[in-house]
Structure 1
Protein backbone atom coordinates (compact mmCIF):
# COMPACT_ATOMS: atom_id res chain seq x y z
CA UNK A 1 0.00 0.00 0.00
CA UNK A 2 1.37 3.39 -1.02
CA UNK A 3 0.41 4.91 2.34
CA UNK A 4 2.59 2.47 4.28
CA UNK A 5 5.45 2.82 1.81
CA UNK A 6 5.43 6.60 1.99
CA UNK A 7 5.21 6.58 5.78
CA UNK A 8 7.93 4.02 6.47
CA UNK A 9 10.42 4.79 3.72
CA UNK A 10 9.91 8.46 2.90
CA UNK A 11 7.96 10.63 5.33
CA UNK A 12 9.05 9.16 8.66
CA UNK A 13 12.79 8.95 7.76
CA UNK A 14 12.75 12.55 6.50
CA UNK A 15 11.03 13.74 9.66
CA UNK A 16 13.63 12.00 11.82
CA UNK A 17 16.47 13.56 9.83
CA UNK A 18 15.21 17.15 9.86
CA UNK A 19 13.06 17.37 13.01
CA UNK A 20 13.46 16.60 16.69
CA UNK A 21 10.15 14.98 17.53
CA UNK A 22 9.18 14.77 21.20
CA UNK A 23 6.47 12.09 21.15
CA UNK A 24 4.70 11.34 24.43
CA UNK A 25 1.79 9.05 25.26
CA UNK A 26 2.01 6.69 22.30
CA UNK A 27 0.82 3.88 24.58
CA UNK A 28 -2.56 5.66 24.84
CA UNK A 29 -3.46 4.75 21.25
CA UNK A 30 -5.24 1.35 21.31
CA UNK A 31 -3.50 -1.38 19.30
CA UNK A 32 -6.74 -2.51 17.69
CA UNK A 33 -10.29 -1.33 17.12
CA UNK A 34 -11.90 1.94 16.17
CA UNK A 35 -10.50 5.08 17.74
CA UNK A 36 -10.86 8.81 17.13
CA UNK A 37 -7.73 10.96 17.41
CA UNK A 38 -8.93 14.48 18.21
CA UNK A 39 -6.15 17.03 17.77
CA UNK A 40 -5.61 20.75 17.86
CA UNK A 41 -4.66 22.15 14.45
CA UNK A 42 -1.75 24.54 14.07
CA UNK A 43 -0.38 23.74 10.62
CA UNK A 44 -1.17 21.85 7.43
CA UNK A 45 1.77 19.61 8.36
CA UNK A 46 -0.10 18.28 11.42
CA UNK A 47 -1.70 15.74 9.08
CA UNK A 48 1.78 14.56 8.11
CA UNK A 49 3.66 14.58 11.42
CA UNK A 50 1.07 12.77 13.55
CA UNK A 51 0.27 9.75 11.34
CA UNK A 52 3.93 9.38 10.37
CA UNK A 53 4.89 8.75 13.99
CA UNK A 54 2.15 6.18 14.72
CA UNK A 55 2.25 2.52 13.78
CA UNK A 56 -1.44 2.21 12.93
CA UNK A 57 -2.65 3.87 9.74
CA UNK A 58 -4.62 7.06 10.41
CA UNK A 59 -7.42 8.32 8.20
CA UNK A 60 -7.78 12.08 8.54
CA UNK A 61 -10.71 14.30 7.73
CA UNK A 62 -9.19 17.18 5.76
CA UNK A 63 -10.94 20.19 4.26
CA UNK A 64 -12.11 19.51 0.74
CA UNK A 65 -10.15 22.47 -0.65
CA UNK A 66 -7.03 20.29 -0.49
CA UNK A 67 -8.63 17.92 -3.02
CA UNK A 68 -10.00 20.52 -5.42
CA UNK A 69 -7.01 22.77 -6.10
CA UNK A 70 -6.18 23.95 -9.60
CA UNK A 71 -2.98 23.74 -11.59
CA UNK A 72 0.04 21.57 -10.92
CA UNK A 73 0.25 22.48 -7.24
CA UNK A 74 -3.43 21.64 -6.76
CA UNK A 75 -3.09 18.27 -8.49
CA UNK A 76 0.04 17.37 -6.53
CA UNK A 77 -1.62 18.40 -3.25
CA UNK A 78 -4.73 16.33 -4.03
CA UNK A 79 -2.61 13.30 -4.98
CA UNK A 80 -0.56 13.59 -1.80
CA UNK A 81 -3.55 13.94 0.52
CA UNK A 82 -5.36 11.00 -1.04
CA UNK A 83 -2.28 8.82 -0.68
CA UNK A 84 -1.76 9.63 2.99
CA UNK A 85 -5.25 8.40 3.87
CA UNK A 86 -7.14 11.69 3.88
CA UNK A 87 -10.91 11.96 3.46
CA UNK A 88 -12.35 15.22 2.07
CA UNK A 89 -14.51 17.05 4.59
CA UNK A 90 -17.11 19.45 3.24
CA UNK A 91 -17.57 22.16 5.88
CA UNK A 92 -20.46 24.01 4.24
CA UNK A 93 -23.07 22.21 6.33
CA UNK A 94 -26.17 20.34 5.24
CA UNK A 95 -26.12 17.15 3.19
CA UNK A 96 -22.54 17.48 1.96
CA UNK A 97 -21.14 17.73 5.48
CA UNK A 98 -23.38 14.86 6.60
CA UNK A 99 -22.02 12.72 3.75
CA UNK A 100 -18.45 13.46 4.85
CA UNK A 101 -19.25 12.42 8.43
CA UNK A 102 -20.95 9.28 7.12
CA UNK A 103 -17.71 8.31 5.33
CA UNK A 104 -15.81 8.84 8.57
CA UNK A 105 -18.35 6.75 10.47
CA UNK A 106 -17.92 3.90 8.00
CA UNK A 107 -14.18 3.95 8.59
CA UNK A 108 -14.78 3.71 12.34
CA UNK A 109 -17.23 0.88 11.75
CA UNK A 110 -14.39 -0.98 10.05
CA UNK A 111 -12.25 -0.60 13.17
CA UNK A 112 -9.92 2.07 11.78
CA UNK A 113 -8.18 5.04 13.35
CA UNK A 114 -9.77 8.36 12.42
CA UNK A 115 -8.02 11.68 12.91
CA UNK A 116 -10.10 14.84 13.21
CA UNK A 117 -9.54 18.48 14.11
CA UNK A 118 -12.45 19.52 16.35
CA UNK A 119 -11.82 23.21 15.60
CA UNK A 120 -12.60 22.52 11.95
CA UNK A 121 -9.68 24.53 10.59
CA UNK A 122 -6.19 25.70 11.47
CA UNK A 123 -5.76 28.17 14.28
CA UNK A 124 -4.87 31.54 12.76
CA UNK A 125 -2.87 32.66 15.79
CA UNK A 126 -1.78 29.61 17.80
CA UNK A 127 -4.70 29.76 20.23
CA UNK A 128 -7.24 26.97 20.72
CA UNK A 129 -10.75 27.67 19.45
CA UNK A 130 -14.17 26.25 20.21
CA UNK A 131 -14.80 22.67 19.05
CA UNK A 132 -17.43 22.10 16.42
CA UNK A 133 -20.00 19.37 16.92
CA UNK A 134 -18.81 16.98 14.20
CA UNK A 135 -16.32 15.26 16.50
CA UNK A 136 -19.03 14.77 19.12
CA UNK A 137 -21.45 13.39 16.54
CA UNK A 138 -18.87 10.83 15.44
CA UNK A 139 -17.96 9.89 19.00
CA UNK A 140 -21.54 9.35 20.15
CA UNK A 141 -22.75 7.62 17.00
CA UNK A 142 -19.79 5.23 16.75
CA UNK A 143 -19.11 4.66 20.44
CA UNK A 144 -15.39 4.76 19.63
CA UNK A 145 -13.01 6.08 22.30
CA UNK A 146 -11.64 9.56 21.70
CA UNK A 147 -7.91 10.05 22.21
CA UNK A 148 -6.97 13.74 22.67
CA UNK A 149 -3.81 14.91 20.92
CA UNK A 150 -1.79 18.11 21.17
CA UNK A 151 0.48 19.19 18.34
CA UNK A 152 3.15 21.59 19.53
CA UNK A 153 5.44 23.76 17.43
CA UNK A 154 4.13 22.80 14.00
CA UNK A 155 2.98 26.38 13.48
CA UNK A 156 6.58 27.49 13.93
CA UNK A 157 7.87 24.82 11.54
CA UNK A 158 5.27 25.59 8.90
CA UNK A 159 3.32 28.77 9.55
CA UNK A 160 0.49 29.82 7.29
CA UNK A 161 2.00 30.88 3.97
CA UNK A 162 5.07 28.64 4.15
CA UNK A 163 5.20 25.76 1.65
CA UNK A 164 7.98 23.60 3.12
CA UNK A 165 8.39 23.11 6.89
CA UNK A 166 11.61 24.47 8.41
CA UNK A 167 13.64 22.02 10.53
CA UNK A 168 13.20 22.25 14.28
CA UNK A 169 11.54 20.69 17.30
CA UNK A 170 8.03 19.26 17.10
CA UNK A 171 6.00 18.05 20.07
CA UNK A 172 3.20 15.47 20.00
CA UNK A 173 1.35 14.72 23.24
CA UNK A 174 -1.22 11.93 23.27
CA UNK A 175 -3.66 11.76 26.18
CA UNK A 176 -5.62 8.91 27.69
CA UNK A 177 -8.76 7.76 25.85
CA UNK A 178 -12.03 9.50 26.68
CA UNK A 179 -15.19 7.43 27.05
CA UNK A 180 -18.64 8.90 26.53
CA UNK A 181 -20.87 6.11 27.83
CA UNK A 182 -22.58 8.73 30.01
CA UNK A 183 -23.90 10.31 26.80
CA UNK A 184 -24.77 7.08 24.99
CA UNK A 185 -27.80 7.31 22.72
CA UNK A 186 -27.78 11.12 22.72
CA UNK A 187 -26.13 11.70 19.34
CA UNK A 188 -29.13 13.81 18.23
CA UNK A 189 -29.30 15.87 21.42
CA UNK A 190 -27.71 19.31 20.84
CA UNK A 191 -26.87 19.77 24.53
CA UNK A 192 -25.21 16.35 24.74
CA UNK A 193 -23.23 17.06 21.57
CA UNK A 194 -22.03 20.38 22.97
CA UNK A 195 -21.05 18.74 26.27
CA UNK A 196 -19.12 16.02 24.44
CA UNK A 197 -17.34 18.49 22.15
CA UNK A 198 -16.41 20.69 25.11
CA UNK A 199 -15.01 17.74 27.08
CA UNK A 200 -12.85 16.76 24.11
CA UNK A 201 -11.65 20.34 23.65
CA UNK A 202 -10.80 20.63 27.34
CA UNK A 203 -8.72 17.45 27.21
CA UNK A 204 -6.80 18.80 24.22
CA UNK A 205 -6.31 22.11 26.03
CA UNK A 206 -4.79 20.40 29.07
CA UNK A 207 -2.23 18.71 26.82
CA UNK A 208 -1.42 21.69 24.60
CA UNK A 209 -1.43 24.49 27.17
CA UNK A 210 -2.83 26.88 24.56
CA UNK A 211 -4.81 29.97 25.38
CA UNK A 212 -8.48 29.25 24.72
CA UNK A 213 -10.88 31.43 22.75
CA UNK A 214 -14.56 30.58 23.21
CA UNK A 215 -15.55 31.26 19.60
CA UNK A 216 -15.21 29.24 16.42
CA UNK A 217 -11.97 29.68 14.50
CA UNK A 218 -12.22 31.81 11.35
CA UNK A 219 -12.82 29.46 8.44
CA UNK A 220 -10.73 31.35 5.91
CA UNK A 221 -7.09 31.08 6.96
CA UNK A 222 -4.72 31.85 4.12
CA UNK A 223 -2.31 29.08 3.13
Structure 2
Protein backbone atom coordinates (compact mmCIF):
# COMPACT_ATOMS: atom_id res chain seq x y z
CA UNK A 1 0.00 0.00 0.00
CA UNK A 2 2.84 2.40 0.85
CA UNK A 3 4.31 1.85 -2.61
CA UNK A 4 0.97 2.53 -4.30
CA UNK A 5 0.42 5.74 -2.34
CA UNK A 6 3.97 6.97 -2.91
CA UNK A 7 3.82 6.18 -6.63
CA UNK A 8 0.47 7.95 -6.99
CA UNK A 9 1.82 11.10 -5.33
CA UNK A 10 5.06 11.15 -7.30
CA UNK A 11 3.24 10.38 -10.55
CA UNK A 12 1.01 13.42 -10.12
CA UNK A 13 4.02 15.62 -9.35
CA UNK A 14 5.92 14.26 -12.33
CA UNK A 15 3.04 14.88 -14.73
CA UNK A 16 2.39 18.39 -13.41
CA UNK A 17 6.04 19.47 -13.35
CA UNK A 18 7.60 17.62 -16.28
CA UNK A 19 4.86 16.39 -18.62
CA UNK A 20 7.11 13.48 -19.66
CA UNK A 21 6.74 12.14 -23.17
CA UNK A 22 6.62 8.33 -23.21
CA UNK A 23 6.95 6.20 -26.35
CA UNK A 24 6.69 2.43 -26.75
CA UNK A 25 5.47 1.62 -23.25
CA UNK A 26 3.32 -1.18 -24.70
CA UNK A 27 6.55 -3.03 -25.53
CA UNK A 28 6.83 -4.07 -21.87
CA UNK A 29 4.87 -7.32 -21.35
CA UNK A 30 2.03 -7.19 -18.83
CA UNK A 31 3.35 -10.25 -17.03
CA UNK A 32 6.36 -12.52 -16.75
CA UNK A 33 10.07 -11.80 -16.25
CA UNK A 34 11.45 -8.83 -18.17
CA UNK A 35 14.80 -7.04 -18.22
CA UNK A 36 14.63 -3.33 -19.02
CA UNK A 37 18.06 -2.04 -20.01
CA UNK A 38 18.94 1.53 -20.83
CA UNK A 39 21.22 4.52 -20.63
CA UNK A 40 22.14 6.20 -17.36
CA UNK A 41 22.84 9.93 -17.27
CA UNK A 42 21.80 10.97 -13.78
CA UNK A 43 20.65 9.74 -10.39
CA UNK A 44 16.92 10.20 -10.97
CA UNK A 45 16.68 8.04 -14.11
CA UNK A 46 15.38 5.14 -12.02
CA UNK A 47 12.69 7.33 -10.47
CA UNK A 48 11.27 8.39 -13.84
CA UNK A 49 11.52 4.82 -15.14
CA UNK A 50 9.68 3.40 -12.13
CA UNK A 51 6.91 5.97 -12.39
CA UNK A 52 6.02 5.52 -16.06
CA UNK A 53 6.12 1.69 -16.08
CA UNK A 54 2.86 0.25 -14.72
CA UNK A 55 4.51 -2.80 -13.15
CA UNK A 56 7.06 -2.33 -10.41
CA UNK A 57 10.65 -2.18 -11.62
CA UNK A 58 13.29 -3.55 -9.26
CA UNK A 59 16.85 -2.34 -9.57
CA UNK A 60 20.17 -2.47 -7.76
CA UNK A 61 21.31 0.42 -5.58
CA UNK A 62 24.19 1.13 -3.23
CA UNK A 63 23.54 -0.20 0.25
CA UNK A 64 24.63 3.15 1.70
CA UNK A 65 21.26 4.55 0.60
CA UNK A 66 19.48 2.44 3.23
CA UNK A 67 22.01 2.38 6.06
CA UNK A 68 21.78 6.01 7.18
CA UNK A 69 21.13 6.87 10.80
CA UNK A 70 18.37 8.89 12.40
CA UNK A 71 15.07 10.03 10.96
CA UNK A 72 16.63 11.13 7.65
CA UNK A 73 18.30 7.76 7.22
CA UNK A 74 15.10 5.87 7.92
CA UNK A 75 13.11 8.05 5.53
CA UNK A 76 15.68 7.50 2.77
CA UNK A 77 15.66 3.75 3.37
CA UNK A 78 11.85 3.67 3.21
CA UNK A 79 11.76 5.80 0.07
CA UNK A 80 14.32 3.83 -1.91
CA UNK A 81 13.07 0.37 -0.94
CA UNK A 82 9.47 1.40 -1.62
CA UNK A 83 10.56 2.60 -5.07
CA UNK A 84 11.92 -0.88 -5.81
CA UNK A 85 15.60 -0.50 -4.98
CA UNK A 86 17.40 -3.60 -3.72
CA UNK A 87 20.51 -2.63 -1.74
CA UNK A 88 23.72 -4.43 -2.66
CA UNK A 89 27.31 -3.78 -1.60
CA UNK A 90 28.71 -3.15 -5.06
CA UNK A 91 32.09 -1.96 -3.82
CA UNK A 92 33.11 -5.31 -2.37
CA UNK A 93 35.03 -7.99 -4.23
CA UNK A 94 31.85 -9.95 -4.89
CA UNK A 95 29.66 -6.94 -5.74
CA UNK A 96 29.18 -7.94 -9.37
CA UNK A 97 28.20 -11.49 -8.48
CA UNK A 98 25.76 -10.26 -5.82
CA UNK A 99 24.12 -7.91 -8.31
CA UNK A 100 23.84 -10.67 -10.90
CA UNK A 101 22.31 -13.13 -8.46
CA UNK A 102 19.88 -10.50 -7.19
CA UNK A 103 18.73 -9.81 -10.73
CA UNK A 104 18.29 -13.51 -11.39
CA UNK A 105 16.16 -13.91 -8.25
CA UNK A 106 13.91 -11.02 -9.30
CA UNK A 107 13.45 -12.50 -12.78
CA UNK A 108 12.87 -16.02 -11.45
CA UNK A 109 9.96 -14.51 -9.50
CA UNK A 110 8.45 -13.25 -12.76
CA UNK A 111 9.17 -9.57 -12.10
CA UNK A 112 10.85 -6.69 -13.94
CA UNK A 113 14.52 -6.02 -13.35
CA UNK A 114 16.01 -2.70 -14.43
CA UNK A 115 19.67 -2.47 -15.34
CA UNK A 116 22.09 0.09 -16.74
CA UNK A 117 24.60 -1.91 -18.81
CA UNK A 118 27.18 0.90 -18.67
CA UNK A 119 27.59 0.07 -14.99
CA UNK A 120 27.68 3.70 -13.88
CA UNK A 121 26.39 7.12 -14.88
CA UNK A 122 27.77 8.63 -18.05
CA UNK A 123 30.40 11.25 -17.19
CA UNK A 124 29.62 13.48 -20.16
CA UNK A 125 26.24 12.56 -21.61
CA UNK A 126 27.61 10.10 -24.17
CA UNK A 127 26.75 6.39 -24.27
CA UNK A 128 29.55 4.07 -23.21
CA UNK A 129 30.38 0.41 -23.74
CA UNK A 130 28.05 -2.01 -21.96
CA UNK A 131 29.26 -4.57 -19.46
CA UNK A 132 28.33 -8.17 -20.17
CA UNK A 133 26.35 -8.76 -16.96
CA UNK A 134 23.20 -7.86 -18.91
CA UNK A 135 23.94 -10.65 -21.39
CA UNK A 136 24.63 -13.25 -18.70
CA UNK A 137 21.39 -12.36 -16.97
CA UNK A 138 19.37 -12.63 -20.19
CA UNK A 139 20.92 -15.98 -21.16
CA UNK A 140 20.66 -17.50 -17.67
CA UNK A 141 16.99 -16.63 -17.27
CA UNK A 142 15.68 -16.55 -20.83
CA UNK A 143 13.95 -13.24 -20.03
CA UNK A 144 13.39 -10.81 -22.92
CA UNK A 145 15.29 -7.53 -22.87
CA UNK A 146 13.38 -4.31 -23.50
CA UNK A 147 15.85 -1.52 -24.38
CA UNK A 148 14.96 1.96 -23.22
CA UNK A 149 16.33 5.49 -23.24
CA UNK A 150 15.82 8.32 -20.80
CA UNK A 151 16.31 11.73 -22.39
CA UNK A 152 16.53 15.07 -20.62
CA UNK A 153 17.16 13.99 -17.04
CA UNK A 154 20.71 15.36 -17.27
CA UNK A 155 19.09 18.80 -17.58
CA UNK A 156 16.76 18.09 -14.65
CA UNK A 157 19.64 17.15 -12.36
CA UNK A 158 23.00 18.15 -13.91
CA UNK A 159 25.87 16.12 -12.56
CA UNK A 160 23.43 13.99 -10.54
CA UNK A 161 23.48 16.48 -7.67
CA UNK A 162 21.37 19.26 -6.23
CA UNK A 163 17.66 19.93 -6.35
CA UNK A 164 15.90 18.84 -9.56
CA UNK A 165 15.18 21.55 -12.12
CA UNK A 166 12.36 21.87 -14.61
CA UNK A 167 13.24 20.52 -18.06
CA UNK A 168 11.55 18.36 -20.73
CA UNK A 169 11.94 14.61 -20.18
CA UNK A 170 11.27 11.75 -22.61
CA UNK A 171 11.37 7.97 -22.19
CA UNK A 172 11.48 5.62 -25.16
CA UNK A 173 11.05 1.85 -25.05
CA UNK A 174 12.07 -0.42 -27.90
CA UNK A 175 10.69 -3.78 -28.98
CA UNK A 176 11.63 -6.78 -26.78
CA UNK A 177 14.86 -8.55 -27.74
CA UNK A 178 14.95 -12.33 -27.47
CA UNK A 179 18.23 -14.22 -27.03
CA UNK A 180 16.96 -17.76 -26.53
CA UNK A 181 19.03 -18.81 -29.56
CA UNK A 182 22.07 -18.57 -27.26
CA UNK A 183 20.65 -20.82 -24.55
CA UNK A 184 23.39 -22.57 -22.58
CA UNK A 185 26.10 -20.19 -23.81
CA UNK A 186 26.12 -17.78 -20.86
CA UNK A 187 29.84 -18.41 -20.28
CA UNK A 188 30.98 -17.83 -23.85
CA UNK A 189 32.65 -14.41 -23.74
CA UNK A 190 32.18 -13.82 -27.48
CA UNK A 191 28.46 -14.50 -27.24
CA UNK A 192 28.18 -12.31 -24.13
CA UNK A 193 29.90 -9.43 -25.91
CA UNK A 194 27.74 -9.84 -29.02
CA UNK A 195 24.51 -9.84 -26.98
CA UNK A 196 25.61 -6.83 -24.94
CA UNK A 197 26.60 -4.87 -28.02
CA UNK A 198 23.24 -5.65 -29.65
CA UNK A 199 21.39 -4.29 -26.62
CA UNK A 200 23.57 -1.16 -26.56
CA UNK A 201 23.02 -0.53 -30.26
CA UNK A 202 19.26 -0.41 -29.65
CA UNK A 203 19.74 1.90 -26.66
CA UNK A 204 21.89 4.18 -28.81
CA UNK A 205 19.22 4.40 -31.51
CA UNK A 206 16.56 5.19 -28.92
CA UNK A 207 18.61 7.81 -27.06
CA UNK A 208 20.39 9.45 -30.00
CA UNK A 209 23.58 9.61 -27.93
CA UNK A 210 27.08 9.50 -29.35
CA UNK A 211 28.59 6.07 -28.66
CA UNK A 212 32.05 5.62 -27.14
CA UNK A 213 33.55 2.12 -27.28
CA UNK A 214 35.25 2.21 -23.88
CA UNK A 215 33.89 1.63 -20.38
CA UNK A 216 32.52 4.71 -18.60
CA UNK A 217 34.61 3.91 -15.53
CA UNK A 218 37.77 4.17 -17.66
CA UNK A 219 36.63 7.52 -19.03
CA UNK A 220 35.99 8.79 -15.49
CA UNK A 221 39.41 7.63 -14.35
CA UNK A 222 41.10 9.33 -17.29
CA UNK A 223 39.23 12.57 -16.58
CA UNK A 224 40.24 12.45 -12.93
TM-score for both structures, normalised by structure 1: 0.91
Question: Per the alignment, do residues 124 and 96 of structure 1 end up closer, same or farther by CA in structure 2, a change over 3 Å counting?
Answer: closer
Q: Measure the CA separation in 1 of the matches of 2:93 and 2:141.
A: 20
Q: What SS does the aligned partner of 2:19 have? A: strand
Residue 93 of structure 1 deviates from its aligned partner by 6.7
**What SS class does the counterpart of residue 111 from structure 1 fall into?**
coil
Do structure 1's residue 177 and structure 2's residue 176 form an aligned pair? yes
CA gap of 1:95–1:218, structure 2 versus 1, over 3 A, is closer
1:59-84 superposed Cα distances (whole Å, 9 cap, x missing partner): 11224443445776655433321121
- Secondary structure at the aligned position of 2:149 is classed as strand
Shift of 1:137: 1.1
Partner of 1:3 in structure 2? 3
Instruction: Give matches, 1:80-91, under 5 Å.
Output: 80-91=79-90
CA contact (8 A) 1:89 1:97 kept: no
Structure 1 unpaired stretches of 5+: none
For residue 36 of structure 1, give the secondary structure of its aligned residue in structure 2.
strand
Specify every segment of 5 or more residues in structure 2 that has no aligned partner in the other structure, as ranges. Answer: none
Change in Cα spacing, 1:199 to 1:74, as seen in structure 2 (3 Å) is farther
Q: What SS does structure 2 have at the residue aligned with 1:201?
A: helix
Compute the displacement of 1:189 (Å): 1.2
1:109 and 2:108 correspond = yes
Greater mean alpha carbon deviation, residues 60-69 or residues 101-110: 60-69
**Counting helix residues as a fraction of each chain, which structure ranks higher?**
2
RMSD: 2.1
For this pair of structures, how many residues does the alignment match? Answer: 220
Q: CA deviation at 1:213?
A: 0.8
Secondary structure in 2 matching 1:77:
helix
Question: Residues 130, 160 of structure 1: CA spacing in aligned structure 2 closer, same or farther, 3 A cutoff?
Answer: same
> Equivalent residue of 2:169, what SS?
strand
Change (3 A) 1:56 1:73: same
1:41-99 alpha-carbon deviations (Å, 9 max, x no partner): 01111110011011111111224443445776655433321121111244447533212
